[in-house]
Amino acid sequence: MWDYPRPPALVRSDRLVEVRLREGGPLLATTRRAWRVLETSHPPTWYVPREDVLDGVLALSDAPSTGCEWKGRATYWDVAEPSSSTGAPAPRRAGAWTYEEPTPRFRELAGAVAFSPSQVVATVDGERVRPQEGGFYGGWVTDDVVGPFKGGPGTWGW
């Protein structure tokens, strides 16, 4: 990932991406049409087409919008299991985000959903995703992504 570009690249993937709120919980999203945003010093952030996210699991969050110099203004979403789920955990506040009106370079991402791997159980081709350190970035760490990554202690100046 140190050879990832800056500015970031947007790359399609046909790998199987699945998202649940909890281990063994119902699927909230599943796709083989995801995008990865590849940026120097970061593990990729994965985006799922909105139509591949189950209806009713996203609710507009009261979390404030943030800005990305590359992609534009982010809108945050609370993530919940379908109301019919038994034993469903509490919704995850701001557990996902979208760029509803991204910059021209990232226009393909309009409405696509990125889930925070620190708040959901996400897998890529069956491998459980680990969250990028630091709590600010939404990178998805898998065995095929090699660090070190920005986000952990002492890395803000990179």
Q: What is the pLDDT of residues 127-154, one digit of tens each?
A: 999 988 766 678 898 999 877 666 656 5
Contact present, 85 and 57 (Cβ < 8 Å):
no
Where residue 66 sits, what CATH number does that domain have? 2.170.150.40
77 in any annotated domain: yes
Model confidence at 42, pLDDT cuts 50, 70, 90, reads confident
3 in any annotated domain: no
pTM, entire model: 0.90
Number of domains in the chain: 1
57 in any annotated domain: yes
3-state secondary structure of 51: helix
pLDDT at 155: 56
Domain encompassing residue 47: 9-135
141 in any annotated domain: no
Q: What is the pLDDT of residues 44-97, one digit of tens each?
A: 999 999 999 999 999 999 999 999 889 999 999 999 998 777 778 899 999 999
